[in-house]
């Protein structure tokens, strides 16, 4: 017998199989790229700190990595400033200023911006905390920076709160810097 269509049973089987495939695949499609977005911004933070530490060791200047956050879309820029003052090589001078590294040369004691080193975080904001433990109370926007001294150490132990957008999993974490020059993302190492 010749048939010109599908039976009801065949259509129901196709609909059931399609529903199962969509039910399994849709969550995976919605989460596509979330882990990559998070890891991509983490990689940018790590590479920026490593690059600036290397530059400080090579030329003997103090540097700042200033974090300029855009809270409305959960993005940030990591701007690099170089001290070109007479004290640019003086590690103890930068440690003793309050907050550390607050007396760079240039307009507003910011130093000279190294434009070609600015990196963008597409899914994070980072806010430097006033303490190493407990909830993070953020410093002012003007002091939202981490300093790297001429010998590639840091003037203080410090911590920053990382908040990722939903496109990067909505995670919260910490950026920890140590006076030794070491830094990590995650739990503080004591």
- Report yes or no on 103 lying in a domain: yes
Give the CATH number of the domain where residue 143 resides: 3.55.40
Q: E strands along the chain, which residues?
A: 63-70, 75-82, 112-113, 119-121, 124-128, 145-148, 158-164, 172-177, 183-185
* Ramachandran area for residue 181 (φ above 0: left; ψ -120 to 50: alpha; else beta): left
Task: State residue 50's pLDDT score.
Answer: 96
Task: State residue 7's pLDDT score.
Answer: 82
- Report yes or no on 29 lying in a domain: no
Q: Which distant-in-sequence residues (6+ apart) come within 8 Å of 60 by Cβ?
A: 88, 89, 150
- Report yes or no on 1 lying in a domain: no
Task: State residue 32's pLDDT score.
Answer: 63
Q: Give the C-alpha distances (Å, rounded to integers) separating 3 from 6, 7, 24, 113.
A: 8, 9, 33, 76
Task: State residue 105's pLDDT score.
Answer: 83
- Report yes or no on 16 lying in a domain: no
Range of the domain at 55: 34-185
Task: State residue 22's pLDDT score.
Answer: 76
The residues with which 119 forms a beta bridge, in sequence order, are 78
Task: State residue 77's pLDDT score.
Answer: 97
- Report yes or no on 180 lying in a domain: yes
- Report yes or no on 105 lying in a domain: yes
The residues with which 60 forms a beta bridge, in sequence order, are none
Q: How many CB atoms lie within 10 A of CB 149?
A: 27
Query: Can you list the alpha helix ranges (DSSP code H) found in 73-178?
Result: 91-96
pLDDT tens, position by position, 93-105: 999 988 899 888 8
pLDDT in tens, the chain (190 residues): 566 777 888 888 889 888 888 777 666 555 567 888 999 999 999 999 999 999 999 999 999 999 999 999 999 999 999 998 888 888 899 999 888 998 888 777 888 999 999 999 999 999 999 999 999 999 999 999 999 999 999 999 999 999 999 888 899 999 999 999 999 999 998 7
- Report yes or no on 171 lying in a domain: yes
- Report yes or no on 27 lying in a domain: no
pTM of the entire predicted model = 0.81
Task: State residue 35's pLDDT score.
Answer: 82
- Quote the CA–CA distance of 184 and 177 in Å, as a whole number: 7
Number of domains in the chain: 1
């Amino acid at each position: 017998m010749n048939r010109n269509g599908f039976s009801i049973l065949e259509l129901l089987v196709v609909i059931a199989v399609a529903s199962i495939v969509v039910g399994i695949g849709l969550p995976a499609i919605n989460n596509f790229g979330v882990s990559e977005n998070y890891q991509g911004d983490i990689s940018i933070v790590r590479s920026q700190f490593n690059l600036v530490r290397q530059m400080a060791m090579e030329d003997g200047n103090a540097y700042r990595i200033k974090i300029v956050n855009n809270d409305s879309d959960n993005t940030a820029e990591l701007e690099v400033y170089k001290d070109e003052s007479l004290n640019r090589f003086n590690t103890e001078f930068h440690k003793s200023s309050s907050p550390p590294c607050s007396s760079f040369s240039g307009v507003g004691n910011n130093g000279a911006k190294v434009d070609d080193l600015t990196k963008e975080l597409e899914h994070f904001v980072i806010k430097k905390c006033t303490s190493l433990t407990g909830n993070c109370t953020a410093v002012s926007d003007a002091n939202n920076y981490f300093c790297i001294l001429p010998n590639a150490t840091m003037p203080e132990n410090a911590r920053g709160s990382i908040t990722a957008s939903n496109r990067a999993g909505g995670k919260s974490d910490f950026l920890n810097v140590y006076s030794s020059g070491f830094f990590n993302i995650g739990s503080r190492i004591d």
